[in-house]
């Protein structure tokens, strides 16, 4: 498989469709490593990425993604998919998401 051909035929149109400025194999690898944090150990992800050292996987490929951020993103996604309504019923939220509109306001 010619990676340049795949990047041009598949990844570039996908990036344009999603409104992403850049999409390549490295971005996909790092995204997979970050998203897989709750699905396996660092050693599992290291084996999948074929890194020789777990430090490379943990320090260079995995970004910290706090649960509160996951919940917020899930809630905003559900709200947008519902048509931008301010409040989304709990049964329509993605798993582990909470409704942002029900959260207390944070002031500085």
Residue 87 has pLDDT above 70, yes or no: no
Asked if residue 96 has pLDDT above 50, the reply is: no
Q: Are 34 and 61 in contact (CB under 8 A)?
A: yes
Please state the rounded mean pLDDT for residues 21-50: 89
pTM for this entry: 0.55
Q: How much is the pLDDT for 76? A: 85
| Cβ proximity of 15 and 22 under 8 Å | yes
């Amino acid at each position: 498989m010619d990676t340049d051909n795949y990047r041009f035929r598949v990844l570039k149109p996908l990036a344009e469709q999603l409104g992403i400025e850049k999409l390549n194999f490295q971005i996909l690898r790092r995204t997979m490593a970050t998203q897989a944090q709750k699905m396996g150990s660092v050693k599992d992800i290291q084996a999948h990425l074929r890194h020789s050292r777990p430090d490379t996987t943990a320090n260079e490929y995995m970004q910290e993604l706090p649960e509160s951020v996951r919940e917020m993103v899930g809630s905003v996604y559900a709200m947008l998919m519902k048509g931008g309504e301010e409040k989304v019923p709990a049964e329509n939220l993605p798993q582990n998401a909470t409704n942002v509109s029900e959260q207390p306001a944070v002031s500085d």
